[in-house]
């Protein structure tokens, strides 16, 4: 490279290397200094809404401080607690992208559980990463929220692995929860899920002439989640997890260190909880519930195959139960079809309110099959 060419790359005394350094510093400031907070909820005049709440807090649960995001335009609205999947993959970093309209009808609570997302840096002992401890943390947070906001019950939304946690929670303490809404719903033992996933991938590989994948599957190779995403079984219309990651990078609640800790926490928690994740017999132990049960299923979900979740719901008995299909979604209906998710949650709030009025009046409400 000639001196003349180098001189043409100078802008205000900076070479390209200097410009790149400045850009890198700007990105660092954006993530570190300008992130890590949740924005206030404001009206058309830009002023904070008087009854709104928008806080990012550390709450001690089971002796460990864990991050909780609480947002709503009216702090007296019903509570909605969102349980993320993984078991260490947070949803808080997607909240900015899907829930703003829903904040008009609920006070939404996202919780990065011990070892996950913003809670990755907590002093978490490996032996505390158990399903039982996580369930106890769930109850402790639930009690904290109900007391703080003066409610008797809250709505529980759960995603992916969080649906196991959520069903166990409403089974053990139905008095805490107005309704359960499962999305990306777990439903069967790992062997049945594996067989459905293999059949899906084999059919897609044949349709697209993916001979390498066909040979891999015929040779007994395991199912890889990357392949499920590549053929739309994770995100409908996408070929990877990248749209989720890029959305997460824009989360105001996450700084650079939080973003880097998402994959670290996901691996850390999954490795230590893997023995708690397998062998759960839903059909045997989680069939009868005392709270309304709703499944929001993506028609194209093969991460947690919706066909198995729909079959499982058929065996569930609950005061109210309903299957809602999201025709243009795979594993993330709340993000892939945000408007429908919001509309269905508002409808469920109304249905459950009517159910609670009937129940309080002493009307006989049968357990539905």
Q: How far apart are CA 297 and CA 140, in angstroms?
A: 28
pLDDT surpassing 70 at residue 111: yes
Q: How far apart are CA 1 and CA 4, in angstroms?
A: 8
CATH of domain 53-192+241-360: 3.40.50.1820
pLDDT surpassing 90 at residue 96: yes
Q: How far apart are CA 271 and CA 269, in angstroms?
A: 6
Give the model's pLDDT for residue 130.
86
Higher pLDDT, 276 or 296: 296
Mean of pLDDT values over 9-33 = 45
Name the segment(s) of the chain with CATH classification 3.40.50.1820.
53-192+241-360
Q: Supply the pTM of this predicted model.
A: 0.87
Helix axes of 131-149 and 256-277: crossing angle, nearest 10 degrees: 120
Higher pLDDT, 20 or 113: 113
pLDDT surpassing 60 at residue 146: yes
* Contact (Cβ atoms closer than 8 angstroms) between residue 182 and residue 341: no
Give the model's pLDDT for residue 369.
57
- The predicted-structure confidence for 279-327, as pLDDT tens digits, reads as follows 456 667 899 999 999 999 999 999 999 999 999 999 999 999 999 999 9
Query: Could you tell me if residue 60 is left (phi over 0), alpha (psi between -120 and 50 degrees) or otherwise beta?
Result: beta
| φ, ψ of residue 286 in degrees (nearest 5) | -125, 70
Sheet holding 154-159, edge to edge: 53-61, 64-72, 107-112, 79-83, 154-159, 177-183, 293-298, 321-326
* Interstrand relation of 177-183 and 293-298 (parallel, antiparallel or unpaired): parallel
pLDDT surpassing 80 at residue 6: no
pLDDT surpassing 90 at residue 136: yes
Give the model's pLDDT for residue 275.
63
pLDDT surpassing 70 at residue 272: yes
pLDDT surpassing 50 at residue 355: yes
Q: How far apart are CA 310 and CA 328, in angstroms?
A: 17
Q: How far apart are CA 24 and CA 335, in angstroms?
A: 30
* Contact (Cβ atoms closer than 8 angstroms) between residue 129 and residue 114: yes
The distance between the two most distant Cα atoms of the chain, rounded to a whole number of Å, is 88
Q: How far apart are CA 53 and CA 70, in angstroms?
A: 7
HEC-encoded secondary structure of the chain: CCHHHHHHCCECCECHHHHHHHHHHHHHHHHHCCCCCCCCCECCCCCECCCCEEEEEEEEECCEEEEEEEEECCCCCCEEEEECECCCECCHHHHHHHCCCHHHCCEEEEEECCCCHHHCCCCCCHHHCCHHHHHHHHHHHHHHHHHHHCCCCEEEEEECHHHHHHHHHHHHCHHHEEEEEEECCCCCCHHHHHHHHHHHHHHHHHHCCCHHHHHHHHCCCCCCHHHHHHCCCCCCCCCCCHHHHHHHCCCCCCCHHHHHHHHHHHHHHHHHHHHHHCCCCHHHHCCECCCCEEEEEECCCCCCCHHHHHHHHHHCEECCEEEEEECCCCCCHHHHCHHHHHHHHHHHHHHHHHHHHHHHCCCCCCCEC
Helix axes of 256-277 and 16-32: crossing angle, nearest 10 degrees: 60
16 band by pLDDT with thresholds 50, 70 and 90: very low
């Amino acid at each position: 490279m000639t001196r003349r060419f180098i001189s043409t790359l100078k802008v205000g005394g900076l070479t390209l290397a200097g410009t790149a350094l400045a850009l890198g510093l700007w990105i660092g400031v954006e993530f570190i200094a300008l992130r890590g907070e949740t924005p206030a909820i404001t009206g058309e005049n830009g002023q904070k809404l008087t009854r709104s709440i928008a806080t990012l807090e550390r709450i001690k649960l089971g002796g460990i401080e864990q991050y909780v995001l609480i947002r709503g335009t009216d702090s007296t609205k019903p509570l909605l607690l969102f349980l993320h999947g993984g078991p260490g993959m947070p949803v808080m970093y997607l909240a900015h992208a899907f829930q703003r309209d829903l904040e008009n009808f609920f006070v939404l609570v996202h919780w990065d559980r011990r070892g996950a997302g913003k809670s990755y840096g907590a002093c978490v002992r490996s032996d505390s990463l158990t399903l039982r401890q996580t369930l106890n943390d769930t109850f402790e947070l639930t009690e904290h929220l109900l007391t703080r906001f003066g409610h008797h019950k809250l709505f529980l939304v759960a995603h992916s692995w969080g649906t196991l946690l959520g069903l166990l929670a409403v089974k053990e303490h139905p008095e805490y929860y107005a309704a359960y809404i499962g999305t990306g719903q777990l439903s069967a033992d790992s062997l049945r899920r594996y067989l459905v996933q293999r059949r899906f991938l084999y059919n897609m590989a044949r349709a697209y002439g993916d001979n390498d994948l066909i040979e891999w599957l015929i040779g007994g190779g395991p199912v890889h989640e990357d392949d499920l995403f590549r053929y739309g079984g994770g995100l409908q219309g996408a070929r990877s997890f990248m749209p989720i990651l890029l959305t997460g990078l824009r989360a105001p609640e996450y700084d650079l260190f939080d973003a880097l800790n998402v994959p670290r926490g996901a691996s850390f928690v999954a490795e230590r909880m893997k023995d708690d994740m397998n062998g759960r017999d839903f059909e045997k132990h989680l069939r009868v519930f005392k709270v309304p049960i709703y499944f929001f299923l993506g028609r194209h979900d093969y991460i947690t195959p919706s066909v198995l979740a729909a079959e499982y719901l058929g065996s569930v008995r609950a005061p109210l139960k309903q299957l809602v299909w999201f025709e243009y979604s795979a594993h993330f209906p709340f993000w892939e079809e945000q408007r429908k998710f919001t509309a269905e949650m508002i409808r469920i709030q109304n249905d459950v309110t009517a159910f609670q009025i009937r129940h309080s009046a002493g009307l006989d409400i049968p357990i539905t099959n």
